Amino acid sequence: MPIATPEVYAEMLDRAKANEFAYPAINVTSSETLNAALRGFAEAESDGIIQVSTGGAEFASGTKVKDMVTGAVALAEFAHVVAEKYPVNIALHTDHCPKDKLDGFVRPLVALSQERVDRGLNPLFQSHMWDGSAVPLDENLKIAADLLEATAKARIILEIEIGVVGGEEDGVANEINDKLYTSPEDYLKTVDALGTGEKGRYLVAATFGNVHGVYKPGNVKLRPEILKQGQDVVAGKLGLPAGAKPFDLVFHGGSGSLLEEIHEALTYGVIKMNIDTDTQYAFTRPIVGHFFTNYDGVLKVDGEVGNKKVYDPRSYLKAAEQGMAARIAQACEHLKSSGRMIAG
């Protein structure tokens, strides 16, 4: 299917919210990891979200070029062509963008999509994330309000972060402290600044102990009830019935989370869960196995000529694609609930 239109993306998110499941949002850095993500969603028979970070986009442009916008556009254009061969809906998203990179990443990409929309086309990306966790909340929300106006006009959904995800991702590091828990006041300020959809749709990456990085299950101390508290306090402010979930929530920093914690978060309105660390390993591990098994073929040992069939990049990237795709399919299964993750 073609990359999701704004209408299809909105329907995907609505369906997830109504049926208490979440889409894995898979970070990619190359055409090969993007192919693996597409394959994984197709094998799981699931719609999904593919995303690129600032560092991933820079890498995708080439280590000599190192231009975030160029890399992001290249991956998105590639996805628009290749995704048509798969029977699932895919939305394209950009991941964490801090304040100092907005002018070199998100804003130019929104402007590019606006040009497309003005010509009667769909936006290049379906959503973008502004990560204001490193600035005071009032400044975070002021920038978010300006961005929301621009993204809504370009038919794009904005993702914001209130609270702080600990650990390190793409060179952005945060301490592990009480700021990892979004407060009720943070939720209320968000609604005051951004509304409830009338100014444009947005996703909220609220934090409840999330930490980026590599952890064994149980080592990350999550408090999913923080998400329920936020939904409840805003529902009360808006006069909504008990159990209402006014926010569309995003789960960041999920490595090491217990499955029951993930499932609890889904019941509180999480509809998108970012997955990067696990899929990186799933992509790399088959390559390591290939090289260890075929070391005398990939290396010209003792003056020999090696074996072209095993040092041809296709021989090990094929296995890497399969490994990453399998992990994505597993993630889709873990994030399912009573609802279907694919349209139709």
User: Catalytic residues, which ones?
Assistant: 95
3-state secondary structure of 46: coil
How far from 78 is each of 7, 75, 86, 149, CA to CA, in Å?
21, 5, 13, 28
| CA atoms of 141 and 191, how far apart (whole Å) | 10
What do you get for the CA distance between the two ends of the chain, in Å?
Answer: 13
Residues β-bridged to residue 166 = 211
What stretch of H or E contains 94?
strand 90-94
- Tell me the C-alpha to C-alpha distance, in Å, between residue 4 and each of 9, 19, 122: 6, 20, 9
* Full DSSP string of 47-64: -EEEEE-HHHHHHHT-TT
Q: How many residues does the chain have?
A: 344
Query: Which residue type does 296 have?
Result: D
Beta carbons within 8 Å of 153's beta carbon, 6+ residues apart = 114, 117
Distance CA 82, CA 3 (A): 9
Q: Are 14 and 338 contacting, i.e. CB atoms less than 8 angstroms apart? A: no
Decide: 166 and 176 in contact? Cβ < 8 Å: yes
User: Collapsing DSSP states into helix, strand and coil, what is residue 270?
Assistant: strand
Q: Which residues of 79-106 are buried (b: 16+ CB within 10 A; e: fewer)?
A: beeebeebebbbbbbbbbbbeebbeebb
Which residue reads 């749709």 in tokens? 201
Beta bridge partners of 127: 93, 157
User: What span, in angstroms and rounded, lies between the C-alpha atoms of 285 and 320?
Assistant: 7
Handedness of CA 87, 88, 91, 95 (dihedral sign): negative
